[in-house]
Amino acid sequence: MSKDKGVANLRASLQELARLGSPVDLSVADVGRANQTENQDLEIEQIGGVHESHIYQLKDGRAAFVAQVRIANQTNKPIYPLEMEMQLFWQDPTVDWLEPRRIKVNGRKKPNYSYQCYRFPDGLQFSAAEVVNHVIFGHRMLIPNKPIEGLLLATGGRMPADLKHGQTLDVALTITDSAYTEHRATIDFWVNRVVYQPKPVRANTVNFGGMDGPPVITDSVQFGPGRCETGFSVDLPLSGITPCTKLVE
């Protein structure tokens, strides 16, 4: 086991003991945490405000992870990321990284078009330009002196019942490069236990078809302000629409 992984395991164990009510000193792991960020060839830095990196609860109880990071190659040669993982302390530690998806939009007043985005199961979505998942899992070259910034998005298992709203949670993030060198950092997530409900504000023309036909959307559906944007194809039954969820902190 590497030194970095040992530090992460120690902190995860201490967090679990603290969650169960045992008096522990988390500063024991903080010393190792401070040391693990020094002299790294690939620097992984959390950026943004307190709430920018957060965990929120999906409708089915699973966790959704949004982390804002800056990744910088500190060497004089390219680094090729191979894989990425997060280490969770709870019983269902499965992490599924979101993949980009292409959304097709059919409109009456302008030609059909499509766009790429990342979308959580509840509908919350981000444009591909905001997210860096595809940079890591696409094994793209990380060039020296050209850091990348953006969001890392993932879903996990069910959030523990005793994980309180408003608390912070340290999660170890590891990127492994093509030389099988591990680059590790700790992300501080703010925990949000609110389950968001969709709030559509306007829907375009709805064609109820013939006597036997189901209702269909004949144009896109627009939602309120925010970073979410959604378009639905022609002839999509209303029963199959999952509206975009707007995240409000």
Burial label for 34, CB within 10 Å (0-12, 13-18, 19+), is: exposed
- The confidence score (pLDDT) of residue 190 equals 93
CA-to-CA distance for 231 and 221, rounded, in angstroms? 6
- The confidence score (pLDDT) of residue 218 equals 38
**Domain 3-99+137-192 homologous superfamily, CATH:** Immunoglobulins (2.60.40.10)
- The confidence score (pLDDT) of residue 110 equals 76
- The confidence score (pLDDT) of residue 78 equals 95
- The confidence score (pLDDT) of residue 185 equals 94
Q: Residue 118: in which H helix or E strand, if any?
A: strand 113-119
- The confidence score (pLDDT) of residue 164 equals 87
- In this prediction the pTM is 0.64
Q: What residues does each domain of the chain span?
A: 3-99+137-192
CA-to-CA distance for 155 and 94, rounded, in angstroms? 8
CA-to-CA distance for 120 and 105, rounded, in angstroms? 19
Over the chain (249 residues), the average pLDDT of each successive run of 10 is: 48 57 52 47 92 91 94 95 89 88 81 88 92 93 95 93 88 94 94 69 46 42 38 37 40
Structure tokens at 45: 């830095």
DSSP letter assigned to residue 131 = B
Could you tell me if 55 and 64 are in contact, meaning their C-beta atoms sit under 8 angstroms apart? yes
3-class DSSP state for residue 32?
helix
